[in-house]
Structure 1
Amino acid sequence: MKDLTVGRYLIESLRKIGLNDVFGIPGDYAINFFKLMEDEGINLIGTCSEQGAAFAADAYSRMNGIGALCVTYCVGGLNTVNAVAGAYAEKAPLIIISGAPGVSERNSGYLLHHMVRNLDSQFNIFKELTVASTQLTDPYTAASEIDRVIKACLAHKRPVYIELPRDMVHQKCALPLKEADIPVYKNLCATKEAIEEAVQIIKDSAKPVIIAGVEIRRYKLEDKFLELLESTGLPYATTPLGKCVIEESHPQFIGTYMGKIGLEKVRRYIEEADSVIILGALMTDTNLGSAQLDITRTIYATADCLNIKNHCYKDVDLGDFIEGLTRELKDIKRHLIDTIEVHEEDDFEVISDNSITVSRFFKRFGKFIRPDDAIVCDIGDSIFGSINLKLPENTIYLGPVFYTSMGYAVPAAIGIQIANRNLRTIAVVGDGAFQMTGHEISCCVKYGLNPIIFILNNKGYTTQRHLREGSYNDIHNWSYHLITELVGGGLGLEVNTEEDLEIALEKAQKNTDSFTIINVHTNKHDKSDTLHRLTTIFSSKLGCSQ
């Protein structure tokens, strides 16, 4: 039997929670652990940058339930900070493993390469971005620390940080004396009272409605949520971050709610309801779009809190609350509403010589999506133009709607396909975001991946342009479709007109052997209706006039 070492215990701990893929880039402080992972059969996904690895691991975690990346000390780890911050903000469970100077090196008196202020600088930074962190400096406690941190990641659905000094990788360690325990407090009395109060409000309502958020997916509550819907007949909307938590083909689905930013019919339906049940949603400006909800008519339940009108209940489990609503409301099922009144489907007829516009692109894009596709959209009109599409059954939709970091979509598409190579994965990304992380497309050639990537090319930062115009919003135009020549693979296509788009879609559909990149030229001042509403609201906050 192999000796139990700190490195081996960490690898086995990853495997126990379903992780056999690790994203990252080696360095001398991490290379011993990289070698051990390779020897132990871990599938290592090397990306072009550490930020790309973190974005890919984030998307992988949203697909798989947890993800992992491994980097070297400071010059690697600090490159992941932005992406890890996004994972924390949007509740993506992610394990960050970083190499570090050896324990035996720490008192040498020398400044060690990659150091910043002191040897703990990176560790202290990651404390702000994670729900648990550890430095594995003691082989006697290392296994217990690994267990504690990983359990925190699974419990809270947020990133954790493990710092592994390079001379600890092969240090023998002991199994934990006892299993790590993450206390879960459930107040049964508070749960009972909250369910009773919520049920009475819903029963007294003539027009109740549900808003579903991302925590329904993060905590694997889809089945419980679906049972609530089908037992009660209540109509529901999702937030942008919670889009596709269950199938949008469901007859009770009314659309994506974004407050003033979203579709007027959906906004009016939600805000005119006499009770609004919000389940698992993050209350953020971009996620709920400056929502105008009356707190006296609102039931708001998440994994962290439960508020009913002005009452606050603590330690109420979100899943238990949903189950309780289902149990108490199933005997008063309401008639299904006609959701067609709220959500209208548009037909699309090609006008061959027309220059492609953002709105026309997304109308056609909606028809291109098939059941079981995975869609990942970068921030800007990539998200705002697609957010109101009613997607077919079993579609997966990802996008950084709350944290809104540019550069997510291309590495995320890689993470999605590493998690499930059978998924047809489609990414939509702006040209500005592509210039930040688009070089990760090289990984598609390296690992035989075949996503379809649309670049909305309007020569600049569209959202910022419509907040305050200036030359700082212009970027240098690339021939994005020619990147295939640089990376040695893929199919590159260019689109200027609606006819060009039809030809490109047909070719992309047939190309299953490699990635397809489609350079879609649009006017630099063009934008979706959703982005127009968002920039109008944000401009007023900035004191700008559009």
Structure 2
Amino acid sequence: MVPGPVGLGVDFVQRSNGNSLLGALQHFARVWNQSVKPVIIVGSKVKLARALQQLVPFAEKLGAAVAVMPDAKSFFPETHPQYIGTYWGNVSSPNVPEVVETADLYIYLGPVFSDVTTSGFSTLVQKSKMIRVLPERVKAPGVEFGSVCMAEFLERVVERRIAEVEALPVAPGREEMLSMRFVLRTFQRMLRESSAVVVETGDAWFNGQKLHLPKGVPYEFQLQYGSIGWSVGALLGMALAFRGARRCLAMIGDGSFQMSAQEVSTMIRYQVNPIIFLLNNQGYTIEVELHDGPYNNIKNWNYKLLIDALANSEGKVKSFVCKTVGDLEKGVEFAEENQDYFIFLECLLDRDDCSKELLEFGPRIASSSAMPP
């Protein structure tokens, strides 16, 4: 008998249970559509599951950044634009932990978690944000789908419109109150290659960083001086500079807007067509996280009436008060159907609806600012 290679000895399920596969796909779609900053991490069991060929189509379908665990190096093309390096806890490739650990969804494909693959369990990921696609099952917090073939699961994700916002929709009901998460998803959906973006100082800093900009879209924000109110005048300048070429979208907090709201009058005068998302949480939220006090509360304005008064029934101007998901969708629909209008979308948000990045950033900056020179 001629010696030959020995088989793996383990033959993972090659065909999925139909109901289980469908359930896994539907659950994945729900979680995916609720995420803002997902990341894919490739593990060693992808090879064991004979799913290497499905990796690139899957990643390209989702468009998320791709990291590999140390025992999966070479599984994903390192020349691919979505590839960011090796995620290995505190000995990861440069900048990879910052991308992975700030994600709001980790899609682990065939991982093996051990002290070696995690550098002494130094990976700072939360199981509550993790989906694990294993060779023969899909696991997520509180739910598990058995008899699901990894290769088939990845193929089905590629085949379906699962990565589209409108696919398997799980958007909140039209009567639900607005959240910053939904506002950000809506802002993202409105971006085109012909857009330009202005982001104000404050929590908008961090929400703006979560946007995936289409090719060539300019993005302006004021970081070095933290100039509150800077964005309104900057939006005027950008709208004039890009007139006829790009439509400008701005994300501005209510406190910042009150610093320089009169610039809207000039926008109306010169008939430019930006879209302002006013994030109204009735205060200087970033200052609350830096140094809380009654001085961070501001007088709430009737912003819709203000814009209407500045327009004085002249020009193409439309303002909306958006308390619910349906209110914002109505405003966005009007904005997309009327490309030559100045659009003002006042988004009423809960006072405590801020990004987790701000919650981490605020105390650190407050601490460093209190240090002696």
Class of the TM-score when normalised by the shorter of the 2 chains = 0.5 to 0.7
The equivalent position to 1:513 in structure 2, one of 340, 351, 371, is 340
Tell me which residue corresponds to 2:289.
Answer: 466
Secondary structure at the residue paired with 2:290? Answer: coil
User: In the alignment, does 2:313 pair up with 1:491?
Assistant: no
- CA separation of 1:469 and 1:411: change in aligned 2, threshold 3 A: same
- Find the aligned partners of 1:267 and 1:469 in 2 and give their Cα distance: 39
Map of 1:404 onto structure 2: 226
Q: 8 Å contact 2:86–2:93 — kept in the other structure?
A: no
How many residues end up aligned between the 2 structures?
223
Aligned to 1:383: 205
Q: Which has the higher contact order (CA 8 A, sep 6+)?
A: 2
TM-score norm. by structure 2 comes to: 0.53
Contact 1:376 1:399 in 2 (8 A): yes
Q: CA deviation at 1:253?
A: 4.8
Residue in structure 1 matched with residue 183 of structure 2 by the alignment? 361
Question: Which of 189, 192, 205 is residue 370 of structure 1 equivalent to?
Answer: 192
**Structure 2 match to 1:435:** 258
What is the CA–CA distance in structure 1 between the aligned matches of 2:86 and 2:221, rounded to whole Å? 21
Instruction: Kindly report which structure 2 residues correspond to 1:406-425, keeping only aligned pairs within 5 A, or say none.
Output: 406-421=228-243, 422-425=245-248
Specify the SS of the correspondent of 2:345. strand
Q: What does 1:150-299 correspond to in 2, within 5 Å? A: 252-253=81-82, 272-273=91-92
Q: 1:270 offset after TM fit, Å?
A: 11
Q: SS of the counterpart of 1:391?
A: coil
Residues 285-313 of structure 1: per-residue CA shift (max 9 Å, x gap): xxxx9xxxxxxxxxxxxxxxxxxxxxxxx
3-state SS of the aligned residue for 2:212?
coil
The change in CA–CA distance for 1:502 and 1:437 in structure 2 (over 3 A counts) is same
Following TM superposition, by how much is the alpha carbon of 1:274 offset from its aligned partner in structure 2, in angstroms? 5.0
Counterpart Cα distance in 2 of 1:398 and 1:513: 22
The 5 Å alignment of 1:7-406 reads 252-253=81-82, 272-273=91-92, 347=165, 349-406=171-228
Q: Kindly provide the amino acid, as one letter, of the partner of residue 365 in structure 1.
A: F
| Percent of aligned pairs with the same amino acid | 29
Residues in 2 aligned to 1:468 and 1:379: alpha-carbon distance in whole angstroms: 16
Q: Equivalent residues in 2 for 1:450-465 (5 A)? A: 450-465=273-288
Counterpart Cα distance in 1 of 2:363 and 2:300: 27
Paired with 1:521 and 1:441, the residues of 2 have a C-alpha distance of: 20
Deviations 1:47-77 (A, max 9, x none): xxxxxxxxxxxxxxxxxxxxxxxxxxxxxxx
Structure 2 Cα separation of the partners of residues 269 and 435 of structure 1 = 46
Change (3 A) 1:425 1:457: same
Name the counterpart of 2:149: none
Change (3 A) 1:272 1:437: farther
Name the SS of the counterpart of 2:330 in structure 1: helix
2-side partners of 1:364 and 1:411: how far apart?
24
For the residues of structure 2 that align with 1:375 and 1:254, how far apart are their CA atoms?
26
| Letter of the structure 2 residue corresponding to residue 376 of structure 1 | V
Among 476, 480, 485, the alignment partner of 2:303 is: 480
Q: Could you tell me how far 1:251 is from its partner in structure 2? A: 5.3
CA deviations on 1:461-518 (whole Å, 9 max, x unpaired) are 0011123322100000011122232222411101011111111111121233331111
The counterpart of 1:534, out of the listed 354, 357, 361, is: 361
CA contact (8 A) 1:444 1:514 kept: no
- 1:528 Cα shift? 1.3
Shift in Å, 1:401: 2.2
> What CA RMSD, in Å, does the superposition of the two structures yield over aligned residues?
3.4
Separation in structure 1 between the aligned mates of residue 223 and residue 86 of structure 2, nearest angstrom: 18
Measured after TM superposition, the shift of residue 539 of structure 1 is 4.2
Q: Which runs of 5+ in 2 are unaligned?
A: 1-64, 67-78, 96-101, 103-162
Verify the 8 A CA contact 2:179 2:349 in the aligned structure 1: yes
Q: Is the 8 A contact 1:429 1:454 kept in 2?
A: yes
> How much has 1:268 moved relative to structure 2?
6.0
2:352 is matched with 525
Whether contact under 8 Å (1:452, 1:516) holds in the other structure is: yes
**Contact kept? 1:385, 1:531, Cα under 8 Å:** no
Indicate conservation of the 8 Å contact 1:372/1:393, yes or no: no
Query: What SS is found at the alignment partner of 1:385?
Result: helix
- Assess if the C-alpha contact under 8 Å between 2:197 and 2:249 holds in 1: yes
Inter-partner Cα distance in structure 2 for 1:267 and 1:406: 38
Q: 1:271 to 1:388 in 2, by over 3 A?
A: farther
Q: Distance in 2 between matches of 1:254 and 1:270?
A: 17
Distance in 2, matches of 1:268 and 1:440, equals 46
Partner of 1:166: none
Q: Is the 8 A contact 2:239 2:248 kept in 1?
A: yes
Aligned 8 A contact 2:86 2:92 in 1: no
Corresponding letter in the other structure for 2:81: Q
Partner residue, 1:210: none
Which runs of 5 or more structure 1 residues have no equivalent in the other structure?
1-234, 237-249, 256-265, 277-288, 290-344
CA distance in 1, matches of 2:86, 2:270: 43
CA distance in 2 between counterparts of 1:495 and 1:455 reads: 10
Task: State the one-letter code of the partner of 1:438.
Answer: A
CA distance in 2, matches of 1:373, 1:358: 21
1:487–1:254 Cα change, 3 Å: farther
Paired residue type of 2:200: D
- The residue that corresponds to 2:330 in the other structure is 503
Length-normalised TM-score, structure 1: 0.37
Distance 1:346 1:456, change over 3 A: farther
Say which is worse superposed, 426-435 or 485-494, in terms of deviation: 485-494
